[in-house]
Amino acid sequence: MSSHDEKVVISGVGLITCFGVGINPLWDAMCEGRTGLHRIERFDPSGFACQVAGELGDEEFNVRKIVPKSHRKATKVMCRDTELAVGAAANAVENAGLITAGNSDETPTIAPDRVGCHIGAGLISAELNELGGALVNSKREDGSFDLTHWGAEGMQNLSPLWLLKYLPNMLACHVTIVHDCQGPSNTITCCEASSGLSIAESRRVIQRGDADVCLSGGAEDRVNPLALYRQHCTGRLTETDGSGEMSSVVRPFSDTANGTVIGEGGGIMIVESATSCESRTGIPWCTIEGIGCRQSCTDSPLDADSQTITSAINRALDEAKCSASDIDVIVPLGSGIKQVDSAERDGLTAVFGDALPSIPMITTIPYTGNCMAGNGAIGIGVAAKAIKEQMIPARLGADSTVGLSAGTCNAKEMNINRILLVTPSEGGQCVAMVLGRVGT
Amino acid sequence: MCRHGAWEGGYMTRVVVTGMGWVTPLGHDLDTVWERMCNSESAIELIDRFDASSFPTKFAGQVRNFDWTKYVNDVSVHRSPALNSQFALGAAKQAWEQAGLGQYSELNFDRAGIYLGAGEGVLDFSAHSMIDTHAWNVEDGKIDSIAWAKFASEQLDAWGEVEQEPNMPLWHVAKEYGLRGPSFNCLTACAASTQAIGEATSVLLHGDADVMLSGGTHTMLHALGITGFNRLTALSTFDGDPKKASKPFSRDRGGFVMGEGSGMLVLETLEHALERGASPLAEIIGFGSSADAYRITDLHPEGRGPAAAIRNALSQAKINPSETIEGKPLIQYISAHGTSTQENDSIETKAIKHIFGENAQKVPVSSIKSMMGHLIAAAGSVELITCIMSIQTGMLVPTINLDNPDPELDLDYVPNVARKAQVNCCMSNSFGFGGQNNTLVVKRFDE
């Protein structure tokens, strides 16, 4: 058999969002129409135009509690992004019913050299208190910074392993150590498209025969002054001091949309060959039926392009051997960034035509904020849950979204066989994915 | 279940290299850099991009006299690209032209993709250090975020911060050539561009594209980058002639030397290349990838991860490392990761010996990092180009500064002087901080 044709499934879902660890806290909130966005508490955001985020409280998640004792010391060199990835991975492994070095001393379900790991990551921003606390030692009396002092003495105030906290591949590094994943491992850094592209790569790795299972997805923390400022520089954030109604801060596809908000979180999926899943009597959430990846060539890397979106979707549909009429639900990026929303609308219209307004959408950013490299994985996890529950959650944002079924609504049951996800990213990458109900 | 060797079983095509380009501390075109490496030249000099005179490490392989504007059609399209994107544009132009794609009017741009291993943009350390120190609240012992935001909006260049994203080189290069196909950027530290090329090959074999521009670009040659690696004690602090500082496989090797730059290759399916009349330079026949999954700061003592990557790559290439033809191993050159750190060079040697057994001593191994430093994410792509140049020219470039060999490391490291050799098949290793290991096998193109 050609491994190119190997069917690949999602056999475990691990999420981490502002609602906590796992798909259920998020799913419950989404079904109730309850946003997780609030005014930032981790630092005083008063100096920023956008003071709202999807922030996970310390009481909801402590990475030290979920890593094996042997890895507890290493948590000291984890940045927040890595903590999130490690949390999501533990949740995914448990959800899939896998035994790994991370949760048991028993023989692992899958041989370590057959387990890959592809985790999307962002540009990890330094913790300013850590870096600032070191830099301030090299401040001259006149207030200027003394680089000569820094080179000779000041840098000694930084922890020796400081750099290792901020390399994007440290998310995968820690996860592979905790779960003893010795197969192919990669770190995709393509902003919002990172998670989807990671899953595309995991599937390709499995299909070419280099792994049976991959821990795959992405995570990112943007609730940090430097990261928030960098997003501010893109002009993509809405302006809010956090005093208004949080459920409509982000209004995807609305005429009144005026930007997005950031979040922290992400997800790890257990991407597995159907043969492997079946042989260990795993229970797949859904199948990965088709993926399309494209690049836009717009005049600004911050803009999305409808043609690119259309092309990515068509490629995903081709691979899935289905047509637009076979899609029951769409999970767009739905960021509330006007230009990106507009490109998504046009790109989807080119594929679905007049049928588009009748296809319900699921939008996650009004609940979690834009978790960038982790955002796609959150969408994929929610889509997998929707297929499993045969239900779409409530939508937040605006009442009216002309030409799209993306306005506010309650949760509802529906027959779902296929969901299309599409994620255009800052930087111009775009990934579309068709997930299918098992057995259809 | 299908395990290794699936490429041959599952795919009907082959992947060839039709264009190459690089921007390195030794120069900005294929011939100059190659000639200088064959002459055993070093590009390591004192850093002059910032005042590093008080830093533990004061030298690096710095790209000099490079003008990115000569490599693009319209400068205004790119606004103000960060240095990593500038290098990428320079290397990509060379590769694109050598492949003859500039003159090919029938390229389907939806099937022309890009897969880079690009690092982040250059941090404006001068501005960031000023902002952080001015916003430091002495009483609280932490940053005053309100003051920080104010200083940041006054001092930081907004576009410069956008250019920090590691996927920006992807956008610049894709925009320059109109590439609309599959598009990825990976950042697995020192292994990134080897991984990018391996996965780009996989994209082609999977049938998702006809052409992939692939490679890497990176610079960490800024005050915070040098700081980070100095604190890790990974960089050489050699206090003699900088040109002698990078000494892979030497007994007295004392850490790696920072470099910067970019290497780019045009990869194509064989059918596509032949159909448009292109001349393949080489064929990529194997890619192996693994994770150490061991410790944050240490390599597995037996080189488990690197050995797995090498084994998988050779397996996909259907090369038996123990086999010889007329007394010669089937791999005739290995471009080593060869960083000049105690641990890497020892573990890499161990992994090569583990896989090649008695043949290990017969395979020439060299590290070009001895001459240009460590290009971090871009290192693997430049080293793969070195392999292909060896096949084309019949020359092996040396490991320079190997005057005091480590008695524990007993392979043929092509010490100090280039040599002639008949080379048909090469292997290139890249092992990253963080535990990702990648190996590529490339061979002379043969219809």
What tokens does A260 get?
A: 């997005």
Confidence bin at A199 (pLDDT 50/70/90): very high
Within the 299-318 window of chain A, which residues sit less than 8 Å (CB to CB) from chain B? 299, 301-302, 308, 311, 315
What tokens does B200 get?
A: 């780009």
Q: Rounded to a whole number, what is the distance in Å from the CA of A153 to chain B's nearest CA?
A: 9
Asked whether residue B346 carries a pLDDT value surpassing 80, the answer given is: yes
Model pLDDT for residues A363-397, shown as the tens digit of each residue: 999 999 999 999 999 999 999 999 999 999 999 99
Confidence bin at B9 (pLDDT 50/70/90): very low
- How far from each other are the two terminal CA atoms of chain A, in whole angstroms? 22
* pLDDT at residue A439, as a whole number: 86
**B306 at the A interface (CB within 8 A)?**
no
Check CB contact under 8 Å for A151 and B52.
Answer: yes
Q: What percent of chain A shows pLDDT beyond 70?
A: 99
> Are B312 and B289 in contact, with CB atoms under 8 Å apart?
yes
Check CB contact under 8 Å for B435 and A185.
Answer: yes
**A273 at the B interface (CB within 8 A)?**
yes
Chain A residues within an 8 Å CB radius of B167: 189-191, 425-429
Residue type, A266: G
Nearest-5° angle of CA A230, CA B159, CA B146?
40
Check CB contact under 8 Å for A308 and B206.
Answer: no
Cα separation, A201 vs A221, whole angstroms: 23
Check CB contact under 8 Å for B293 and A182.
Answer: yes
Mean pLDDT, rounded, for A165-179: 97
Within the 54-113 window of chain A, which residues sit less than 8 Å (CB to CB) from chain B? 74, 77, 112-113
Chain B residues within an 8 Å CB radius of A159: 231
Average pLDDT over chain A reads: 97
Check CB contact under 8 Å for B290 and A185.
Answer: yes
The residue of chain B with its CA nearest to that of A144 is B130
> Are B291 and A185 in contact, with CB atoms under 8 Å apart?
yes
Model pLDDT for residues A315-357, shown as the tens digit of each residue: 999 999 999 999 999 999 999 999 999 999 999 999 999 999 9
Pick from A152, A160, A210: CB nearest B231: A160
Cα separation, A159 vs A104, whole angstroms: 32
Check CB contact under 8 Å for A189 and B166.
Answer: yes
**pTM of the prediction?**
0.97
Model pLDDT for residues A132-151, shown as the tens digit of each residue: 999 999 999 999 999 999 99
Give how far the C-alpha of residue B343 lies from the chain's centroid of Cα atoms, to the nearest Å: 19
Confidence bin at B119 (pLDDT 50/70/90): very high
Mean pLDDT, rounded, for B190-207: 97
Q: How many CB atoms lie within 10 A of CB B325?
A: 8
* pLDDT at residue A2, as a whole number: 39
User: DSSP assignment, residue A356?
Assistant: G
Check CB contact under 8 Å for A128 and B148.
Answer: yes
The residue of chain B with its CA nearest to that of A168 is B187
**B320 at the A interface (CB within 8 A)?**
no
Q: What are phi and psi of A126, to 5 degrees?
A: -65, 145
Mean pLDDT, rounded, for B101-123: 96
3-state class (DSSP) for residue A237: strand
Structure-model confidence comparison of residues A59 and B12, the more confident one:
A59
Within the 219-238 window of chain B, which residues sit less than 8 Å (CB to CB) from chain A? 223, 227-233
What tokens does B359 get?
A: 């043949």
Residue type, A252: P
* pLDDT at residue B298, as a whole number: 86
* pLDDT at residue A3, as a whole number: 62
What tokens does B346 get?
A: 């020892």
Check CB contact under 8 Å for A2 and B9.
Answer: yes
Q: Rounded to a whole number, what is the distance in Å from the CA of A400 to chain B's nearest CA?
A: 32
The residue of chain B with its CA nearest to that of A128 is B143
Pick from B126, B174, B435: CB nearest A295: B174
The residue of chain B with its CA nearest to that of A139 is B133
> Are A336 and A381 in contact, with CB atoms under 8 Å apart?
no
**A402 at the B interface (CB within 8 A)?**
no
* pLDDT at residue B332, as a whole number: 98
**Shortest CA distance to A194 belongs to which of A97, A122, A295, A294?**
A122
Token match 């010996």: residue?
B353
Pick from B133, B161, B189: CB nearest A139: B133
Cα separation, A148 vs A154, whole angstroms: 9
Asked whether residue B11 carries a pLDDT value surpassing 80, the answer given is: no
The residue of chain A with its CA nearest to that of B376 is A167
**Shortest CA distance to A235 belongs to which of A49, A376, A425, A37?**
A49
* pLDDT at residue A440, as a whole number: 74
**Shortest CA distance to B269 belongs to which of B181, B195, B392, B335?**
B181
Asked whether residue A181 carries a pLDDT value surpassing 60, the answer given is: yes
Check CB contact under 8 Å for A180 and B293.
Answer: yes
* pLDDT at residue B297, as a whole number: 83
Chain A residues within an 8 Å CB radius of B53: 148, 151
Pick from A117, A121, A148: CB nearest B291: A117
Check CB contact under 8 Å for A6 and B156.
Answer: no
Average pLDDT over chain B reads: 96
Mean pLDDT, rounded, for B168-190: 98
**Shortest CA distance to A163 belongs to which of B367, B120, B159?**
B120
* pLDDT at residue B1, as a whole number: 29
3-state class (DSSP) for residue B442: strand
Asked whether residue B2 carries a pLDDT value surpassing 80, the answer given is: no
Asked whether residue A237 carries a pLDDT value surpassing 70, the answer given is: yes
Catalytic residue numbers of B, as ranges: 190, 337, 374
DSSP A91-146: HHHHHHT---TTT-SSPPSS-GGGEEEEEE---PPPPHHHHHHHHGGGB-TTS-B-
The residue of chain B with its CA nearest to that of A119 is B186
Chain A residues within an 8 Å CB radius of B135: 128, 132
Asked whether residue B294 carries a pLDDT value surpassing 80, the answer given is: yes
Check CB contact under 8 Å for B1 and A275.
Answer: yes
Pick from B141, B161, B291: CB nearest A185: B291
* pLDDT at residue B10, as a whole number: 55
* Sign, CA torsion A281/A286/A288/A289: positive
> Are A262 and A54 in contact, with CB atoms under 8 Å apart?
yes
Check CB contact under 8 Å for B202 and A204.
Answer: yes
Mean pLDDT, rounded, for B129-152: 96
